[in-house]
Structure 1
Amino acid sequence: MMDTTSPTAIGFAGDLTDPWVEGIAQALSGLAVVPCEQYGAELPCRAFQAVGGSRGILILHRSRLSAADVSQLEELRRGLGVENWPRIVLCVSPYVRYAEIERCAGLVEIVTPEATAAETLPRQIERMLKTPGVASRTAREASPVEVVSTDYELRQVLCEACTRAGYRASDSAELLADPVDGRRLTVWDVPVLEPRWEERLERRSKQGPVLALLGFADRTAVTHAREAGASACLDLPCAMDDLIDAVDRMAREETLRPRAQTAHATPPPPSRSYRGRLAIAERHAAAE
């Protein structure tokens, strides 16, 4: 059970035998999150009581969410009362239907896809706790960002968001393998339906961290993007706060990246006159 005497009780309820779900829980290791019991596909009813209270936060992962589950959530809410209902972050798989998510709108505070939850949940919880981490002004000013998308309107929205956050942002319709201005951060609206996108991502990642925006971010797409070199992945559409959090993290990592040091110039060989003087001195020393 959780220590409910803490200012904010945070629980995680999900099938931790699933490696992907376990990875989400591990991404929250910097926070005081306590696993709550969950058996099979049943709703972890005890978790709602353990985290109870308006300050409590429950991260609830669901691979499936039926109409009966939503009805049970509504019944739990009535039983616990508004004052004891925790703030719920619902983490869902692609198999959860939109109709059930829509019914949960009044019961949960945040709905986030499981494929990118490891990227977004730590910052989402920090914002709920009102302790957000922010990149330094220096890191933002030192990190040019290029937003790449064939969708003009999306490109402009993302570029404007990065500019407002303090980055030197530019935009492009095409992803070039070698940016003309050297290393930079890249926000790429990945065309996952096009062939060989992983190769393009791999080439670009060698020129700086890449945030891969995936139109349908499932486990397979995120895994492929990560293996190709993506530093972070988000689903589209995404919250601008999540986008800037991911870019901030990449900027911090880039500023800490060891820079290639310029080799010191090799001193010129001794001149003939110096060699001559050295040889004369050696002969004099031998004669003595």
Structure 2
Amino acid sequence: MVANQIDLAFSGDLTDPWVVALRDAIRTPSLRAIGEELPERWPAGPPPSVLVLHRATLSVAEADRLRRLRDAERAPRVILVAGPHARYHQIMAWSGLVDVLLPEATAGETIARHLGQANAPRVAPQRPVPIALACRQWELGRLLEDALGPAGYAPRRERDDPLLGPEPWVAWDVPVLDPDWSTRLAMAAQRRGVIALLGLADRRTVATARAAGAIACLDLPIDPDDLIFVLDRLTAARRSVPSRRDSSHPHRPRSFDRQSRVRTP
């Protein structure tokens, strides 16, 4: 899915590879870069309809500038991607100024869901698509089960083992405090697509999960719609690849190879 017919502006430090990856996840020809700092006022002409901000820190001065811009006529919808140095009290001060707040490390997975293309009706899979849920937390597993079923997926609960089951995908509640979690992820990724659910994900954790073979990384606590969005993307990618199986990994569709991975630095 890509943003379509959206006048979208992006502000962030494009010398930072993570910020570049976030910008690249916004696949729309109408994207305008407006620099690392917000302007005092919008340039001549209509303001953007959506403004995406990446900020490593959140200052009071820039919050005031954003407030003035939003008080102008036809104020844009604002999506804030907060970096690792943003403090809780700063985020709370900004929360009333933005429409969507996303964590930096996993924003690239789901930002397209928030850019306005979600106005198009979602097309559910024609047949229930199986997915395993390897969750240590009973409540998390129940939450995801309740959301995935009506969305056209067939979730099956497993214990905390991403290797178990024949499903082509597994959403794994990764025990990031266990020293061998990346090894377990790498083993599972050899035979199926692993969506890593990471508690309080940061750049290092996401980079480690990606290097181990995760096809997507989402933050915990999770919005189930984010997982549905990622699964919809993977399902669409799988349909676009000829139905052939890797003889060495009978349950791993070939669509999990490089063309279906979303890369993050």
**TM-score, structure 2 length as denominator?**
0.82
Deviations 1:117-142 (A, max 9, x none): 111111221446x136x45523x52x
* Residues 1-288 of structure 1: pairs in structure 2 closer than 5 A: 8-30=6-28, 32-38=30-36, 43-45=37-39, 48-49=42-43, 53=47, 56-77=49-70, 80-81=71-72, 83-127=73-117, 130-131=119-120, 134=122, 136-138=124-126, 141=128, 143-179=129-165, 182-255=166-239, 256=241, 258-260=243-245
Q: Matched residues in 1 for 2:192 and 2:23: separation?
A: 28
Q: CA deviation at 1:19?
A: 0.9
- Give 1:216's aligned amino acid: L
Q: Cα 1:247–1:50, aligned 2, differ >3 Å: closer, same or farther?
A: farther
Partner secondary structure for residue 137 of structure 1: coil
- Structure 1: segments with no counterpart, 5+ residues: 1-5, 263-288
Q: Matched residues in 2 for 1:238 and 1:135: separation?
A: 22
Q: 1:149–1:172: 8 Å Cα contact kept in structure 2?
A: yes
Q: Matched residues in 1 for 2:233 and 2:6: separation?
A: 25
- Give 2:67's aligned amino acid: E
> Quick one: percent identity of the two aligned structures?
36
Q: Matched residues in 2 for 1:13 and 1:117: separation?
A: 15
Deviations 1:29-56 (A, max 9, x none): 2452121122xxxx32258557855x71
Q: 1:11–1:47: 8 Å Cα contact kept in structure 2?
A: no
**Which protein has greater RCO, CA pairs closer than 8 Å, 6+ apart?**
2
Q: Matched residues in 1 for 2:231 and 2:108: separation?
A: 15
Q: Select the structure of larger CA radius of gyration.
A: 1
Query: Which 4+ residue blocks in structure 1 deviate beyond 6 angstroms?
Result: none
**TM-score, structure 1 length as denominator?**
0.76
| Structure ranking higher in strand proportion | 2
Equivalenced residues, count: 243
- Give 2:39's aligned amino acid: C
- Give 2:59's aligned amino acid: S
| Cα RMSD for the two superposed structures | 2.5
Q: CA deviation at 1:253?
A: 3.0
Q: 1:52–1:86: 8 Å Cα contact kept in structure 2?
A: no
- Structure 2: segments with no counterpart, 5+ residues: 248-265
Q: Matched residues in 2 for 1:244 and 1:47: separation?
A: 38
